[in-house]
Each structure stands twice: as structure tokens, then as C-alpha cells.
Amino acid sequence: MTIRVLTGITTTGTPHLGNYAGAIRPAVRASEQPGVDAFFFLADYHALIKCDDPARVARSRLEIAATWLAAGLDPQRVTFYRQSDIPETTELCWFLTCVTAKGLMNRAHAYKASVDQNEAKGVDPDDGVTMGLFSYPVLMAADILLFNAHKVPVGRDQVQHLEMARDIAQRFNHLYQGDFFVLPEVQIEEDVATLPGLDGRKMSKSYNNTIPLFEGGAKALRGAISRIVTDSLQPGQPKDADASHLFTLYRAFAQPDEVAAFRRDLESGMGWGDAKQALGDRLERDIAPMRETYNELMANPGRIEDILQAGASKARKLASPLMERVRDAVGLRTLGAASAGAKAGGKKAAAKAARFVSFRDEDGSFRFRLLAADGQELLLSESHANPKDAGQLMRRLQDEDVELREQDGQVHVILQGAVVARGVSEAGRIRQALESLRQE
């Protein structure tokens, strides 16, 4: 089975060591595995959420493209493109927006963080919050679902967005009764998904604590390493390797035997100055060859543009057929097709007794409804912490005989002695609806 892997980097700045170790390197490695169909993109639409400096966005697009290519990305083997070169992305984003609950967006970490900061300042909770920031997860879902990616390598701070993409995909699939979208899975390298910066916090441009990857050459790399914060232990005093973010950085790039030796040196009293020198030497071994390729690409932006345009053409050949299906599903057909579809749809609606519709409740739990053909709610499921559990229960109700028990004006659906759903309709109508689903 071919596994489709997709990832991207927002074009708001110059790539740093954390971008490389946390996203670029694992994604490039994944693209080299047999049976992997890899997609990589420059997330320049996302950049507009965070940055209103056009020159910075334009420069970042060039630098990030050059970085990925220098890091070993093979444009002949993968699909490499700019987000803004794929108009189907924004079209799909709107379709997904129309089925996404506002309550789901209210729980997004980035939005909640902005609200918390505003409340701490004593200003309006939504002060400075744009719709771009608020609906960011929907655009991210469109990036992923447009190409039906199976796995998405991300940092831990993006895991929630992957979960939201799954929720949105599942809702669309159920609402329009089709397998339009694959439910993507997150992929994280446990040891290096988030690298510490100079001050020990997550390496981020927001904290101004990054270590440059290529910018400024070897001198800038070593200069940043020299500013890594350490404790006050002197040479000769044993160091706690696991408590040192300098050691964490070294471990992210070195081989196991090198890591073991470096740990022994620290525990034996290696001075922090020597440790920083060792880290710089180890990083330079990997980075120097890539830096040379990067500088050549930066001097020839036309070559990068040709690669990106070829990638966009390749990507759109896959995106266009999916969007035709999606447009048809939501009713945006040509007039001739719409007329034929209305007739066919009428017959289908008459034959179809019911459908399941899943959703995420305000408390974050997962539930589903059984709806009649006319849209009347027949059943409402109990809450589930995991969307897979809700999905499995829907399949069981469709495949297995269940007990329907009328009690206190409700119909209780009993499965293995437990109430799994409740309804206010007649038991006979619910049973007829379930039986019609089993016959599809």
C-alpha cells in the first residue's frame, strides 16, 4: 500500500535548526522510503495570518524552498509546490468551513492563547483576533484533505490541528454520504519533534531564541551556540546531561555511540565551553554540505521557480478530480448535471430511509445522530472520548441487531446490556431506519 505523507512550513521567516530537525529532516527521510508518496508545500497563505510584511513573506518563500531542496528533497520523486499556486485549496477551505462547528474552532490552542492574553491585559477577549487566526485549522485541514494525506509530520503544538482535520473530514463524509476524505494521522519523531532554543524554551522565532540553519554561515551557527544558556557548574564538576538542553540538541543530530560518549564527557566534568565546541563541530558535519547547495540555489531563484511550477501542475492534476466530486456532492453542478442529479437524487432520497451524522459536542466529546430521510432526528448517541469509538458504534448499529426499549417517553438502544443511544421517535420507526441502512 502506498502511504501519502504531507507537510509544510509557514513562510514567515528564515528556516532555523528547529524547523530542520522537527519538520524538514523527518519529512525528507519519509519521502525516501519505499511505498511513500510525499507532498511538501510552502504554506504562504498561512503566512498572511501572522505577517503583514510583503517583503518578508516573499523572501521567506525563496529561503524555505531553497532549504528543502538543499536538505535533500528530490522534486522528481515528490510533489513540491506553493500553497498559493493551488486554487483548489481555498475553494475546499470554504466548503469545509461551511460544515465546521464554531465550537470546535473556539477550542483551538492558538485562538485560546490569544483570548487568554487579552483577558490578562484587561481588553476585549477577541481584540486583534482576525478570522484568519480563528479559522486557521480549517485551512490546514484543506491543505491535508485536498490530497488525502495518510500521515502528516508535525510538531507537538500542531497535533490538535490534525485532530480537528480528522473531525472535519469525518463530518463532511457523513454529511454528504461519501468517502471523500481520508482521516489523516499525525507523525512525530519523539526525540526531536520540538527542539529547545538558546534559552531552553521551544526554539521559535517568536521567542527570538533560534539557531540559524544556513543564514550567516558557519560563523553565525557557532555564534548562536555560544549563547546557549547553561548552569553555573565549572569545568571538572559533573553535569546532568538530561537536564541540559545543549545535550538535547546534540542528541537530535548525533549517532547513538556519539550521544553515549558525549553524555560520559558531561558527567565526567566537561566544561560548557568545550561542550558547545563539540556541539558546533557535530552540527557543522551535517550542515556544511547542505549550506553549499543552499547558497547555489539562492543565487539562482529562477531554478527554484521552475521546480515549484512543475510541482503545482502535478498537484493540481490530483486536486481537480477530487474537487469535482466535492462540488457535485454539495450541489454545485452544471445546470444540465444539476437537473439530472435532482431526478436521481429524488429517487435516492425516496429509497433511503436514514443516515448517520457524526459531530463533536461543545464539551469536546464525539457523538452521532440517526436522521430520517426528511431530516428528523431519530436517535442521539451517548458521548465518546474517541471519534473511533463513535465510528465503530455507528457501524455496529448498522450491522448488528440491537434491543430497543421504550422507557420514560424515550426509546433506548441497548447493545450488550448498555444504553448506547436514545430517541424520542417510535421504536418501530427507528428499527425500520436501521434495517434500511443494513440493506444499502
Annotated binding site for ATP: 10-12, 18-19, 155-157, 195, 202-206
Residues annotated within a binding site: 10-12, 18-19, 143, 155-157, 195, 202-206
Q: Do 252 and 21 touch, CB atoms closer than 8 A?
A: yes
The answer to whether the CB of 224 falls within 8 A of the CB of 216 is: no
Q: Which residue in this structure is represented by grid cell 549563547?
A: 227
CA max distance for the chain: 84
Q: What are phi and psi of 45, to 5 degrees?
A: -65, -40
- Decide: 144 and 184 in contact? Cβ < 8 Å: yes
Tell me the HSE value of 304 on the side-chain side, using a 13 A CA sphere: 24
Binding-site residues for L-tryptophan, please? Answer: 143
How many residues can be counted in the chain? 440
Distance CA 362, CA 375 (A): 22
73 and 111 in contact (C-beta within 8 Å)? no
CA distances from 212 to 13, 193, 344 (A): 11, 17, 59
